[in-house]
Structure 1
Amino acid sequence: MSSKKKRNPLNLSLPPTVNEEGGKDENTEPKQDTLDDQLRKLALSEPQIQRMHEWMNKKKQIGPLSEDVLERISELGHGNGGVVHKMRHKKSNIVLARKLVHLEVKPSVRNQILKELEVLHKCNSPYIVGFYGAFQDNNDISICMEFMDGLSLDIVLQTVGRIEEPIVGRIAVAVAKGLHYLKTEVNILHRDVKPSNILVNSRGEIKLCDFGVSGMLIDSMANSFVGTRSYMAPERLMGNHYTIKSDVWSFGFSLVEIATGRFPIPPLSKKEYSKLFNVPVEQIDPSYPDYESRSHIDDDDGPGSMAIFELLEYIVHNEPPTIPRGIFSDAFVEFVEKCFKKNLSERADLNDLMKEPFYKRYEANEESEFTKWVQKVISKQEQN
């Protein structure tokens, strides 16, 4: 961190991200339902049920995993503390994604991490990225997952700039259902909701990945979680308990980012919205706060322009970011506002959000339009 950056006058901490209220109870085993039992509970469509069975058939074909049975195709990107590769399972020819995490820890710690990751085998939902298994090779842990050919939303943003509200609506519905599934069916919280952990594919599916099932893994990678802290709720940064409402804050933050193509802090001014969306300033809701313009808006699209403690201080002590009517629908503005209440008792939980007009508007939307959108994005990615 540069010496010119602001120090930490408020003595804010960078807290751990596990073992909090409302998360996984380590003394309680997850439910042992069969796949058919789980799918019946989730009120899925017939195509979703069929895809889940297709996924389980692929998983059976792959079987036990090791470095010897995999072949690297290409690098997909970097995640928290690891690199993600596109891989091919040699025997079945199935393509998968492998996250490789290098950890200089005791063998007993690596073994415990692998044991904690086993709960991922019980996550069977069309809104959660499928888990093939995990294995260790020397100091590396490989986490093998379903390959999503549309990649993550942070990479999508690099291709499209920002995402139109109807597409954001479809994403919001899927993410809410994914978070709800994790909480109600597996009894865990995500703890790391952000665009890089929301994946899409050419079949029109939207899935969550990289949620905090392994406390030991998160602790071992603690120094790499600056990006995660940028999306943390104020109460979490102040060292208070993590609840599902903390995931809701990060969820709202992510929706604002993908809808604007800019990290939400510091907030955009009316003039900047006018430029980004090519509309007259007068069209923007007069009640929208008159934020100061960022300098170099075309370059400043992330939290990197603020020192980490400046950013955390802003989240804790300033008013939450908002989005303006006149650019976005009333329903979307109100949905985001309910995610961004700093007072926990006022902030919506997932059940509240699922009753909102914005959620209801896109819950029943046809998947085909979203599928076409993802396919266009993939085509652009291949041309670049």
Structure 2
Amino acid sequence: MSSGKRRNPLGLSLPPTVNENSESGDGVADEAPSQAPIEDQLKKLGLTEPQKQRLNEWLQVKEGIQDLSEDMLRNEGELGHGNGGVVHKVMHKVKNVVMARKLVHLEVKPSVRQQIVKELSVLHKCNSPYIVGFYGAFIDNNDISICMEYMDGLSLDIVMKKAGRLPEKFVGRISVAVVRGLTYLKDEIKILHRDVKPSNMLVNSNGEIKLCDFGVSGMLIDSMANSFVGTRSYMAPERLTGSHYTIQSDIWSFGLSLIELLIGRYPVPAPTKAEYAQIFGLQESEIELADGRTDAPEYQTSNTPAAMAIFEMLDYIVNEPPPTLPKKVFSEETIAFLSKCVKKVPGERATLKALSTDPFFTKYADVDDHGEFAAFVTKTIDIPRPV
């Protein structure tokens, strides 16, 4: 980014991400809440038989892995970079279990690292087919290792880069999984995600879609605060002007992420009619924006995400209309669902409960696609088939 474009006309600041007092369900969990036995939890979640079977199989594998340490793991290659850390594929040498290990380097006091591991222990209570499984965390010198379920389809931002953009029917499946994952975190674990974006939506060759990297450890987020620039671009407008975080802020990030998956690029600044015409192979005259505006605004000198300085992007999110989709390219159900997620005023956004009864959601909820999404992920990521 050009340094000459680093404008901050609103005087916006990069707000803190944690340690805020607000409505119930907004806080970071310091200790794992008491929960019913796993059988009762699974029954309450209303899972399908295949979901129950896969979750039970994973729990059995997890039970065989007690203590974790650096000596127990064999590095099998880098998977990507997360907030403040690098993620590797690793193999547990004794149990022959493949994991994803996120390595976070922190120059902090040992007591802080110990507290972070303690806060992360709440992840042991997350037993949902929509949340990435947690094996455990450990400290090695100044590094914290977070060992998680390995998802062989990687993250949706990688899938999108390889596929260009995702079909509406697949985004429908993703919306069901994410809404249910956010609902589980809020209702059962009593936390918000705080970092909803495509890179934190993981998929596998079974067609499962799971959330990861949510804000369970306030101290960890505080320690990595300077590395959260990527997260800022998915923050809701109210967060960028200093308001506290609520579930409505997660819903904004969710809606922005789905639009990104549908059009193949981060939707700020909003695509112009000319860009939409190019993306979908249409004439510009055929593009009609769903909210009735004549065209997306030409913003300063930057009209692509890559050309925008960070504060220019944040200024756009706060001041300009939210992104919208073109009519006729997408169904009315899709456009209506997403428009409810990206309302500028938090009180006007849909709640998780409202989204779970929306026609777009119910169209894809609990519908067997006969392995179509799983096949798409496998082909796109080129996952080797078992011999």
- Which interval holds the TM-score relative to the shorter structure? over 0.9
Q: What is the DSSP-based 3-state SS (H/G/I as helix, E as strand, rest coil) of the residue aligned with 1:145?
A: strand
- Contact 2:32–2:121 at 8 Å: present in 1 too? no
Inter-partner Cα distance in structure 2 for 1:114 and 1:379: 35
- Contact 1:231–1:250 at 8 Å: present in 2 too? yes
Q: What is the DSSP-based 3-state SS (H/G/I as helix, E as strand, rest coil) of the residue aligned with 1:219?
A: helix
Q: What is the DSSP-based 3-state SS (H/G/I as helix, E as strand, rest coil) of the residue aligned with 1:100?
A: strand
Matching residue's letter, 2:151:
M
| Structure 2 partner of 1:233 | 236
C-alpha spacing 1:8/1:281, structure 2 compared with 1 (3 Å):
closer
| Structure 1 partner of 2:367 | 365
- Contact 1:31–1:185 at 8 Å: present in 2 too? no
- Contact 1:268–1:293 at 8 Å: present in 2 too? no
Matching residue's letter, 1:111:
Q
Instruction: Indicate whether 1:57 and 2:60 are aligned.
Output: yes
Matching residue's letter, 1:92:
K
Instruction: Indicate whether 1:279 and 2:282 are aligned.
Output: yes
TM-score between the two structures when normalised by the length of structure 1? 0.94
Matching residue's letter, 2:65:
I
Instruction: Indicate whether 1:4 and 2:9 are aligned.
Output: no
TM-score between the two structures when normalised by the length of structure 2? 0.93
Instruction: Indicate whether 1:375 and 2:367 are aligned.
Output: no
- Contact 2:100–2:150 at 8 Å: present in 1 too? yes
| Structure 2 partner of 1:17 | 17
Instruction: Indicate whether 1:330 and 2:332 are aligned.
Output: yes
C-alpha spacing 1:3/1:271, structure 2 compared with 1 (3 Å):
closer
Q: What is the DSSP-based 3-state SS (H/G/I as helix, E as strand, rest coil) of the residue aligned with 2:215?
A: coil
Question: 1:149-186 CA deviation, whole Å, 9 max, x = no partner?
Answer: 00001111121111011001000110000000000010
1:204-223 alignment runs, 5 A limit: 204-223=207-226
Matching residue's letter, 1:8:
N
Unaligned runs of 5+ in 1: none
Matching residue's letter, 1:229:
R
- Out of 281, 291, 297, which is 2:296 matched to? 291
Instruction: Indicate whether 1:165 and 2:162 are aligned.
Output: no
Question: 1:196-233 CA deviation, whole Å, 9 max, x = no partner?
Answer: 00000000100000000000000100010000000000
Shift of 1:285: 2.3
| Percent identical residues | 62
1:112-261 alignment runs, 5 A limit: 112-261=115-264
Matching residue's letter, 1:53:
N
Inter-partner Cα distance in structure 1 for 2:9 and 2:331: 39
C-alpha spacing 1:26/1:99, structure 2 compared with 1 (3 Å):
closer
Instruction: Indicate whether 1:345 and 2:347 are aligned.
Output: yes
1:296-307 alignment runs, 5 A limit: 303-307=305-309
Unaligned runs of 5+ in 2: none
Q: What is the DSSP-based 3-state SS (H/G/I as helix, E as strand, rest coil) of the residue aligned with 1:97?
A: strand
C-alpha spacing 1:166/1:120, structure 2 compared with 1 (3 Å):
same
Matching residue's letter, 2:363:
R
C-alpha spacing 1:237/1:276, structure 2 compared with 1 (3 Å):
same
- Contact 1:132–1:144 at 8 Å: present in 2 too? yes
- Out of 68, 73, 95, which is 1:92 matched to? 95
Shift of 1:6: 3.3
Q: How many residues align?
A: 379
Higher mean C-alpha displacement, 220-229 vs 285-294: 285-294
- Contact 1:268–1:294 at 8 Å: present in 2 too? no
Shift of 1:139: 0.2
C-alpha spacing 1:241/1:39, structure 2 compared with 1 (3 Å):
same
Inter-partner Cα distance in structure 2 for 1:79 and 1:277: 31
Matching residue's letter, 2:307:
S
Matching residue's letter, 1:360:
T
C-alpha spacing 1:381/1:76, structure 2 compared with 1 (3 Å):
farther
Question: 1:325-347 CA deviation, whole Å, 9 max, x = no partner?
Answer: 12111111111110111112211
C-alpha spacing 1:160/1:108, structure 2 compared with 1 (3 Å):
same
Inter-partner Cα distance in structure 1 for 2:372 and 2:125: 30
Q: What is the DSSP-based 3-state SS (H/G/I as helix, E as strand, rest coil) of the residue aligned with 1:13?
A: coil
